[in-house]
Amino acid sequence: MTKAVLPESLMPTHWYNLAADFPEPMPPHLHPGTGEPLAPEDMTPLFATGLVEQEFSRERYIEIPEPVRDIYRLWRPSPLARAPRLERALGTSARIYFKNESVSPIGSHKPNTSIAQAYYNRVDGITKLTTETGAGQWGASLAFAGQFFDQEVEVWQVRASYDSKPYRRMLMHVYGATVHPSPSDLTEAGRAMLAKDPDTPGSLGMAVSEAIEVAVGTEGARYSLGSVLNHVMLHQTIIGQEAIRQLEMFGEDAGPDIVIGCAGGGSNLAGLSFPFIGANIRGETAARILAVEPARCPSLTKGEYRYDHGDVAGLTPLLKMHTLGRDFVPDPIHAGGLRYHAMAPMVSHAVETGLMEARSITQEEAFAAGILFARTEGTVPAPESNHAIAAAVAEARRHTGEPGSGPVILIGLSGNGFLDLPAYDQFL
């Protein structure tokens, strides 16, 4: 068997909520004005009722609504494959597997949550969603999701990416979304920013402010976020739940020895690893969980664990997380999805309480690993995924016995690199 493909009938019917199983409860989100624990009603102006419930939920399993599963089935369950050619190239005794989220129509894991978010907003009668995007993965995923649930989608894309990375903007247009470079002259925040610096390349923080301003000021509109918050982590857990069943199909009933995911905001890593962390807590498995981030944006490995805002302007709730400070501006590395100043509170809490480890990888290591992966297993990985692959390569190289006799390494392949080829070109 090369890859384990679950039939649709075995696709998970529930998301898994790690908040139910944390041995120590997570610190609450705090109200930015009062500093008191946030109440659900503080979030409902911006987020759908169903999503706010999930943000605060301690329920272990939350049913995936059938209309969401219906769209998931366009590409899910996603395959989990053994990587025998990569193993041979490394001369490792490890058995390496990868969970392949690159097969979604967008080419990444992001639609797992964009579909759910568009659905819950339609349930509330919302007809328009606004969001920000950097390189465009998240904006494209929300544009894709909006069309299934009658949501007009309006995206503010960081000006520098809008100008230099036109393909994902074009993808958003194909799905019928409106895309503006940010800062724009459509919002007060944007006009103020442009007045200060007409040639600014923009930033995610500024784009967030514009998207929120328009959502708040438009009847029937809300804002949508692609990572960081608890409900986003929740939606991604379908990844790890499928992976558990697929490893069993390979006869790996003891589960993986190590689970490795790349981490920017944290949603891909959480989606892959939280079901395994749950199994660890229940004593069913004893997998090491490894979060891998870029050396140039090292929130988990170099950041402080404290309350901070999710955006530059300080409009979001205060979240307890590993942060480099909301003013931190990362170098323009190629892994656009890993350029965030902080880490999701759930992932941060998992690291802080010893449920997960973290390490960082340089761009050079990451791309070298990605090219090795493409030349052995065929798929060109997203630059973000390359960080997880590089950490797996380093791990596998430590095990040099009889082929197949070593540990089981599971990699999260969060996406493909079709629209990131210029980054590879620059590396080569």
User: Could you give the C-alpha distances from 165 to 323, 336, 377, 385, 402, in angstroms and in order?
Assistant: 27, 11, 27, 19, 45
144 contributes a contact to its own copies by CB under 8 A: yes
Look at the block and give the residue holding tokens 């290591």: 365
Q: Could you tell me which residues come within 8 angstroms of residue 323 by beta carbon, excluding any fewer than 6 positions away?
A: 299, 303, 304, 305, 306, 308, 341, 342, 343
Member of 10, 170, 195, 254 binding its own copies (CB under 8 A): 170
Q: Could you tell me which residues come within 8 angstroms of residue 96 by beta carbon, excluding any fewer than 6 positions away?
A: 82, 83, 86, 87, 392, 396, 409, 411
107 contributes a contact to its own copies by CB under 8 A: yes
Residue 65: closest CA among 200, 181, 207, 235: 235
Q: Smallest distance from the beta carbon of 84 to its own copies, in angstroms?
A: 9
User: Could you give the C-alpha distances from 174 to 140, 168, 264, in angstroms and in order?
Assistant: 9, 10, 27
Cis peptide before 77 (omega within 30 of 0): yes
Member of 10, 39, 74, 286 binding its own copies (CB under 8 A): 74
The residue range among 99-107, 120-128, 308-316, 333-341 that interacts with its own copies, by the rule CB under 8 A, is: 99-107
Which CB sits closer to its own copies, 8 or 24? 8
Which CB sits closer to its own copies, 333 or 374? 374
125 contributes a contact to its own copies by CB under 8 A: no
Q: Could you tell me which residues come within 8 angstroms of residue 313 by beta carbon, excluding any fewer than 6 positions away?
A: 189, 205, 206, 208, 209
Member of 97, 119, 175, 276 binding its own copies (CB under 8 A): 175
Member of 37, 176, 314, 401 binding its own copies (CB under 8 A): 176
Member of 57, 93, 147, 362 binding its own copies (CB under 8 A): 147
Residue 329: closest CA among 130, 158, 191: 158
The residue range among 3-11, 216-224, 307-315, 357-365 that interacts with its own copies, by the rule CB under 8 A, is: 3-11
Q: Smallest distance from the beta carbon of 100 to its own copies, in angstroms?
A: 10
CA gyration radius, the chain: 20
The 357-386 site mask, x for binding its own copies (CB under 8 A), equals --------------x--xxxxxxx------
Q: Smallest distance from the beta carbon of 387 to its own copies, in angstroms?
A: 17
Query: Interface residues with its own copies (CB under 8 A)?
Result: 1-3, 5, 7-8, 70-71, 73-75, 81, 85, 103, 105, 107, 144, 147-148, 166-167, 170-171, 173-176, 371, 374-380, 416, 418-419, 421-422, 424-425, 428
